[in-house]
Structure 1
Amino acid sequence: MDRKDLNDMLWFMAVAEEQSFTRAAARLGTSQSTLSHVIRALETRLGLRLLSRTTRSVAPTEAGERLLRTLAPRIDEIESEVDALMTLRDRPTGQVRITLSDHAFHWIVWPKLRPMLQAYPDIRVELFLDNGFRNIVEERFDAGVRLGESLDQDMIAVRISPDWRLVAVAAPEYFERHPKPQVPHDLVNHDCINHRQTTSGGLYAWEFEKDGQELRVRVNGQLTFNSTSAMRDALCHGLGLGYVPEDVVAEDLHRGRLVQVLDDWSPRFTGYHLYYPSRRQNSAALSLVINTLR
């Protein structure tokens, strides 16, 4: 195989993974027209159509999917070995891609990671904020951050936060218009702020527990978010009653901007873990990130 084919296949991988010539071109640092020309030339040399193109999307064909499944693990292995070689340098270097929720980013990861980045300027970190579940192997992330109870068994997990809980809160002016709920079922009569789950697309059913009794309540209201920071702002402006991580609203509760209800019904959740594939040798950059967040 000509070495040019291998280079062009790497460009094909970028298009297939991004499902967009525009995003792939930006990732590769080239123009969309040049990238499109390279892919067409590769398809011509192979005598196979690798990508199905429409005006709105790009997706691998059956041959493209097969090529992608063949290339991806081998490229990952090469990148891992190159990263491992970087451990021979005096200073850690390389790139780390992590997928995590906005709550984990703002309250756990970023406060610890920021000073580390200042101390190690040769390390590049890409943080993909997404409240859904990602296949970090298929999407070529080095690691992810999720609750311990949500992790696959074939992953190595490192705990990076204590247990935490969600709390039901609203602004004092909201409770001037509505009676405080005494039990979770009272929430069906309230204007609640919903949370959209990225992976399933459904709305989060609020989870409660007391004396061994577990309840899930589906609420309704005017607003729906997929971001805890946006939800907090709406809560502080009296736009509804929400169920949010306690640390996000701790200062608001202390200063009286928000009022907590159903405190004895709020269970604790297993803390956040940073997880990564067990079969992959860690680069010096990822090892430093792990030790920083541990």
Structure 2
Amino acid sequence: MPREHYSDLLALMAVAKERSFTRAAARLGISQSMPSHTIRGLEARLGVRLLTRTTRSVSVKEAGERLLRVVAPRFKDIESELRHVTELSETPAGARRITATEHAIDMPLWPKLAEILSAYPKLKVELSSDYTLTDIVQGRYDFGVRLGDGLTRDSSPVRIAPDLQFAIVGAPSYFAARAMPASPQDLTNHECINFRLPTRGNLYAWELKKGQSELNVRVEGRLVFNGIYQIVNAALSGHGLAYVPEDLARPHLESGRLLPVMKSWWRTFPGYHLYYSNQRETSRAMRVLIKALRYGE
């Protein structure tokens, strides 16, 4: 195939991944009509249909699947080699992708990343907010960030933050007509704001600890969120008790907008860790990020 037709294959790969010409165009940074036009030309030259098109969706036909099985890995290899060549430079460069929760991005990551980006103008960083236990290899991420007790054995972890305490809090308006709970059992009589775990889809059980006693308490309430910041906002509005990182609640506790609840049961977890696959070679850009983000550096 002539070299000018390589872009046709890139368009096919994008459409196959996105299952949409519109989303593929956005991914490639081209006009919405271009992917469809490009792939029709490719099909005409090959003499075979590669895609099935309907008014609502796009799917890959058998011939397209066969072509992608051969072509897609080749393009990935080319991208990988180009990235490795870029990394031979003494100056850290290229794009690095990190998956982390929104709280991890705001607290330990961004303050240090802001300094790194100022120091290394050729370095690019993509931050993806995600609460799932993402497979960083399959997701093509360079790093993930999770609490220390949630790491897998096949990763190389680097601590980037101190231990993290979770706090139970509620707004003064919430307690206007309610007594403050004194024990985990009392939580059953309160409106508690739940967090939906994205990995399994069930509600997160509040992990409490007092001395040697450890409890996982399943709470009830009318509100469920899949983001920690929304839970804090709901608590501030007086809609129930929340179980959130203490550093996130601290400004509101200091101002009196939130009150501490059952403080003796607040639990501390191993702090955030940056992790990466121990099966891949670390680039200079990765080493720069690791050193700059390491806790205590």
Q: Which residue of 1 aligns with 2:107?
A: 107
Q: 1:70 to 1:30 in 2, by over 3 A?
A: same
Q: CA deviation at 1:180?
A: 1.2
SS, match of residue 99 in structure 2: strand
Q: Which residue of 1 aligns with 2:290?
A: 290
- Identity in percent: 51
**Aligned counterparts of 2:76 and 2:66: Cα–Cα separation in 1:** 16
CA contact (8 A) 2:166 2:266 kept: yes
SS, match of residue 126 in structure 1: strand
Q: Which residue of 2 aligns with 1:237?
A: 237
CA contact (8 A) 1:205 1:217 kept: yes
Q: Which has the larger radius of gyration?
A: 2
Q: 1:135 to 1:253 in 2, by over 3 A?
A: same
Q: 1:211 to 1:280 in 2, by over 3 A?
A: same
SS, match of residue 87 in structure 2: helix
Q: Which runs of 5+ in 1 are unaligned?
A: none
Q: Which runs of 5+ in 2 are unaligned?
A: none
Q: 1:237 to 1:18 in 2, by over 3 A?
A: same
Q: CA deviation at 1:166?
A: 1.4
Q: Tell me the amino acid that sits aligned with residue 113 of structure 2.
A: L
Q: CA deviation at 1:35?
A: 1.1
Paired residues for 1:1-294 under 5 Å: 3=3, 6-42=6-42, 55-58=55-58, 74-294=74-294
CA contact (8 A) 1:83 1:284 kept: no
**Aligned counterparts of 1:146 and 1:135: Cα–Cα separation in 2:** 12
**Aligned counterparts of 1:55 and 1:199: Cα–Cα separation in 2:** 32
**Aligned counterparts of 1:55 and 1:217: Cα–Cα separation in 2:** 48
Cα deviation per residue 1:19-59 (whole Å; 9 max; x = unaligned)? Answer: 43323211211123211233344456667765565555555
CA contact (8 A) 1:172 1:259 kept: yes
**Aligned counterparts of 1:60 and 1:166: Cα–Cα separation in 2:** 47
**Aligned counterparts of 2:178 and 2:61: Cα–Cα separation in 1:** 55
**Aligned counterparts of 2:201 and 2:54: Cα–Cα separation in 1:** 25
CA contact (8 A) 1:17 1:139 kept: no
Q: Tell me the amino acid that sits aligned with residue 278 of structure 2.
A: S
CA contact (8 A) 1:51 1:64 kept: yes
Q: CA deviation at 1:220?
A: 2.3
CA RMSD in angstroms comes to 2.8
CA contact (8 A) 1:80 1:280 kept: no
Aligned residues: 294
SS, match of residue 128 in structure 1: strand
Q: CA deviation at 1:4?
A: 5.3
SS, match of residue 181 in structure 1: coil
